[in-house]
Amino acid sequence: MPTNILMPALSPTMETGTVAKWYVKEGDEISPGEILADIETDKATMEFEAIESGRITKIYVPEGTENISVNSPIAEITLEDEDLSATKKPSEIDENNTNAQYANVSNNAPKFTFESSTSAESKNQTRIKISPLAKKIAANHNIDIKNITGTGPSGRIVKTDVLSLLDTQPNSNNTGQKNKIIEGSFNSQGKNLESILNIFSNRQYELIPTTNFRKIVATRLTEAKSSIPHFYLRRTIEIKKLIKLREELNEALSKNEMKISINDFIIKAAAKSLQDNPKCNVVWGEENIIQLKSSDISVAVAIDDGLITPIIFDAEKKGIQDISIEIKEKIKKARAKKLHPAEYTGGSFSISNLGMMGVENFDAVINPPQASILAVGSCVKKALVNDRNEIFVGETMSVTLSADHRVIDGAVGALFIDSIVDYLSNPLKLLV
């Protein structure tokens, strides 16, 4: 019996995808390992490989189609031992043909599921998608989220959905509570495109469509800032020794045409500091705090239309040279949109470095469910005072730790950033 290929969820944040390119057409015979299509997610473009022999009997989604919801049929395949005459449309699929797994055994390719429309609907009925802020508001007002119709992406319940339901309730207290919520919200959030454009009706402008990637970034950052109680710890580091050590190492590695960056040292310093301060090596798990054993460091990388955070796993066990090689490879893959989800999903701590762009200091937004992120500024020469009260010109670097106060207390965060400062001020400790 023909089987539907569904648009898979290739990352935790993916709600829609794009069939960037088909390598097959209807009627083509396929064999295991053959590339069927390129799937563009919110963060990468990934190859879709066949794992069984058969024939592509239907292609439901034309090449280049955007905003295809996860679990929507994109094509139909009839396996080698099946009756090709039994081809059916997605709505006519036999309920018994469900829950079969079309999984790629390659580490570089995604997993796709075969499922009937009936099965997909039943799954959607049992899972309610809701933003953290909307969930919190609903809980505060004892609202059953099953009674709320979501208007967000893929039926996700958002804040405005909950507030709309409050409007229909007779309790006068709800109105007052709603006003308080609105007062602290972004004023233009509820405005449609037409009303916003009216503001600029006498100005020239160009409309740039919002990509899936940008929408997801906007949603995640909004939820992070609205639901995570950030606090900030700032330190200035004297990095003369670090600069000198880096120069010496790069001179020694010049024969291999390799250069170690300041950021490579920062990754290693963060990894060792997380081991020294395990209370900061945590992620928020709602009912539980998840304390990780290894230091998995996410590094913010700028790509077209946003950021992605490839991860250096077990960074505390790796030398600075190994870290440098690995992060350069992952950055290259990220900018080519070839980074596999396993390479950017997870991580216990993030680093965002804008120093190379001349930014002296800034505050970074925590990447949930992580509990902290380090913002790194540029190297600046400043007048400093030594232990003998002598003034000298030093090479300094500003760092700011953003921490989630739900899981990291101020004193704990202070010890953590102090450890980072110590390693970067005395970089020989990073080579031990």
Cβ contact 28:55 at 8 Å: yes
Alpha helices in 113-256 (DSSP H): 117-126, 132-140, 159-168, 172-183, 193-199, 212-227, 240-253
Cβ contact 163:181 at 8 Å: yes
Rounded alpha-carbon distances, angstroms, from residue 378 to 236, 359, 365, 367 = 11, 6, 18, 22
Between strands 29-30 and 54-59, the pairing is: antiparallel
Q: How many CA atoms lie within 13 A of 293 on its CB side?
A: 0
Distance CA 166, CA 163 (A): 5
At residue 180, what are phi and psi to the nearest 5 degrees? -65, -40
Distance CA 373, CA 376 (A): 10
Query: Left, alpha or beta for 153 (phi > 0: left; psi -120 to 50: alpha)?
Result: beta
Cβ contact 290:282 at 8 Å: yes
Cβ contact 131:152 at 8 Å: yes
Count the neighbouring beta carbons within 10 Å of the beta carbon of residue 395. 17
Cβ contact 295:280 at 8 Å: no
Count the neighbouring beta carbons within 10 Å of the beta carbon of residue 246. 19
Q: Which tokens sit at 228?
A: 């995570």
For the chain, give the longest Cα–Cα distance: 89
Q: How many CA atoms lie within 13 A of 392 on its CB side?
A: 11
Annotation marks residue 141 as catalytic: no
Active-site residues, by number, are 405
